[in-house]
Structure 1
């Protein structure tokens, strides 16, 4: 009987494994379907950097003395002084991946090429069915830790094309796999996040030969449905939203308020790094200065509504401008969907779902200690499945060690790690933390009604894209007036 089984081995579950290694007597296994740890292998482009400082490694934010820290990795690689002289807190993505592989190679409890196919509730906890080396194995455990990660999100109108023409249509997660050597015609990048920007930069550098005197080899188009090519908010007071303080504060909100707050915080975790935007603009400027054909076209507010294969073999992308509602098409030869990731419907959880309580929005109820509200025996802990309950810091590497340590403490049954309750931020997320304030009563019911109306409008805005242009125009005017009323009410 194992104390727990962990499903998946991304950075967050690897953090848990690192924090428990040599520090507990628990019996456990981590199952990973891949042959080795390899974090976003399809996007490890040259010179791309991690978007958080190196301290957001697997362990340092809760145990800086751990042998699995990034600094100890540098020492083991005999690169400590070189990194010191570099004076750069952000590290290459490839180096972070190699650091994680270095840690994973030292962990005793990882089994690769192991696919969890079913988890069955039992009187003692759980029975886990795992496909390994061509056969099914059954394991018994008291608790489960879910860290299987997300899967690429592909717009519905692109799914058939990606399946039928993988050499011409792909998600950014697979960008480096089977890259065509001689791109020609129109190349299209879809999306407005960091991955889209990095792919745009990579393709931009491939448009011309080395001397940049010849004609461009292809035209490069970058389109997004977002309002613009905006940077992520990366100033210190904004970054405090990625702290244990804010996660705990956010967890105390009611469900509707949580959805409302998340809807207003997208630029805290979406968007492009300011440095990458500057690099793109600098390259555009220098190409323009040299008198070369830019051969690039950037469009925001462009919603992809359909994609078809023409008789000439082109991929015709059909867009609608979100402001003017005009539709336009773009024939392309190669399309990269940098359209993010989604939470899949894990089939291996099928027998557990009836025993897991959800909120009215359909999300799992997650405790402050990252455990699902489960009616069976044992506990189910989640990694990177708790944005709806703990806020924008959920996918951030900087909070990974804290969450893993919180789960580790629950698994061992005592404070294996001292997770200080003293404030970690300069700002007060709860005004009642300020001894100078006085509480004034308010009409909670009215406030909740406003929140509910706002969330309802957010849902309607998702359905907005499937309406006809004339219906959209009318709905657009109604929503504008309603949002104005809501903002004035809050």
Structure 2
């Protein structure tokens, strides 16, 4: 796709069009005075196409859509999508406990159709600086912009021992439906005890007429644990908590992320129940011959090839011993990690780093020595500094509103939070209770 080299400079250029930058584009629609363009190398929007399993559902309420958290009357809300598609009343009557991910993908694709600022099939190959502007370049085109927003998302995380073997039958879960391996009569191993591992395991045992010879579900965790989604735990997904988390010392943040793992990376209780009942049915009611095993406290530490099969070495994390499994297909449900986009190579030396990530300012811009007044903002790249909510859908519109306000240098969106139910910070409690003579000591 070609763009004129004389196009007026943008205020914002976004790289990547996933839910985060799509939310930013949706919120900017009401503010056309902020000139923006968003680029993605894919030909069209698809949300986790390799994992769009038939029964997979959201782990967040549908009101945490592209816009509603900060702009509930926006015409790109999920409720507006349901109304336009003439399915709102039926959706209400269906009483879904959670929205199917396939329907939310339809919503995202519908939103894309309403936005003129999106450019699919346009890969950003390089980002550089020219004078006081940022330059974004693709194949035969370039744009200048004051600000850049990185929305390239996280990349599949794969155990080191499996990386040399990745392919059609040793695959990350993000490729599960894309490769679509025949499973009937095969030995399949699922590695990873989070929501994705549970969804893949459920999918593998769903068809009684096409069962694998065996399915083994392996996780480093001590058990197949449910997502902690109590009301008080969900307070971790509020602006107040993410701001509080940001101000904590790095060591404390690291400790809290470990403690809060099941608040973001557990399996929905309904799915765990469905899997347990299905295993019961297959074993005791249907009497099917497939061998189904669930093995917690095992870490994948070795992979070799023997003839046509994989040989997996598992380290038992609670006993000083190892196990060996043979498999025809291995699905690595081992999560994602953030990596700096390759297109930033020309300016990588000008960006401050913290570990594998960036040093992130309160407005989600990163620290770098670029032109004065030009900022690079990041989406889904600040978990270590902003907490477990950062890669989650829940606070995406709030984060985008922060970015928009920062670019506009005024409050186009009201992002002030009401008084919290939980007082995380002693200072906030001291202010509220000051009249009662409360004192706090360091």
Question: For this structure pair, what is the TM-score category when the shorter chain's length is used for normalisation?
Answer: over 0.9
Map of 1:469 onto structure 2: none
- The offset of 1:255, in angstroms, is 2.1
TM-score (structure 1 length as normaliser):
0.84
Map of 1:144 onto structure 2: 148
- The offset of 1:437, in angstroms, is 7.7
Structure 1 position 17 matched with structure 2 position 21: no
- The offset of 1:183, in angstroms, is 2.8
Distance in 2 (alpha carbons) for counterparts of 1:183 and 1:326: 31
Structure 1 position 272 matched with structure 2 position 267: yes
- CA 1:437/1:12 → structure 2, altered by over 3 Å: closer, same or farther? farther
- The offset of 1:410, in angstroms, is 1.4
Map of 1:406 onto structure 2: 402
Map of 1:470 onto structure 2: none
Question: Matched residue pairs, number?
Answer: 426
- CA 1:371/1:56 → structure 2, altered by over 3 Å: closer, same or farther? same
1:431/1:437 contact within 8 Å kept:
no
- CA 1:128/1:437 → structure 2, altered by over 3 Å: closer, same or farther? farther
Distance in 1 (alpha carbons) for counterparts of 2:186 and 2:305: 15
Distance in 2 (alpha carbons) for counterparts of 1:92 and 1:339: 22
- The offset of 1:291, in angstroms, is 5.9
Alignment of 1:216-295 (within 5 A): 217-290=212-285, 292=287, 293=289, 295=291
Q: Deviations over 1:303-339 (max 9, x none)?
A: 11111111x3210001111111201111111111111
- The offset of 1:263, in angstroms, is 2.1
Structure 1 position 86 matched with structure 2 position 86: no
Distance in 2 (alpha carbons) for counterparts of 1:307 and 1:183: 23
2:357/2:381 contact within 8 Å kept:
no
1:384/1:395 contact within 8 Å kept:
yes
- CA 1:413/1:352 → structure 2, altered by over 3 Å: closer, same or farther? same
Q: CA RMSD in A?
A: 1.7
Map of 2:362 onto structure 1: 368
- The offset of 1:221, in angstroms, is 0.7
- The offset of 1:407, in angstroms, is 0.6
Distance in 1 (alpha carbons) for counterparts of 2:14 and 2:321: 49
**Which structure has more helix as a fraction of its residues?**
1
Distance in 2 (alpha carbons) for counterparts of 1:258 and 1:117: 34
Structure 1 position 154 matched with structure 2 position 158: yes
2:191/2:334 contact within 8 Å kept:
yes
- The offset of 1:433, in angstroms, is 2.5
- The offset of 1:158, in angstroms, is 1.4
Map of 2:172 onto structure 1: 171
Alignment of 1:10-89 (within 5 A): 10-88=18-96
Hey, which bits of structure 1, 4+ residues long, moved more than 4 A? none
Distance in 2 (alpha carbons) for counterparts of 1:291 and 1:93: 30
Distance in 2 (alpha carbons) for counterparts of 1:217 and 1:380: 48
Q: Deviations over 1:190-246 (max 9, x none)?
A: 10111110110011113x328xxxxx5411111111222111111000001001010
Structure 1, unaligned runs of 5 or more: 211-215, 443-490
- The offset of 1:125, in angstroms, is 2.1
Distance in 2 (alpha carbons) for counterparts of 1:280 and 1:299: 14
Distance in 2 (alpha carbons) for counterparts of 1:105 and 1:143: 24
2:126/2:138 contact within 8 Å kept:
yes
- The offset of 1:301, in angstroms, is 1.0
- The offset of 1:298, in angstroms, is 0.7
Distance in 1 (alpha carbons) for counterparts of 2:92 and 2:440: 52
Q: Deviations over 1:108-137 (max 9, x none)?
A: 111111111111123222111113xxxx31
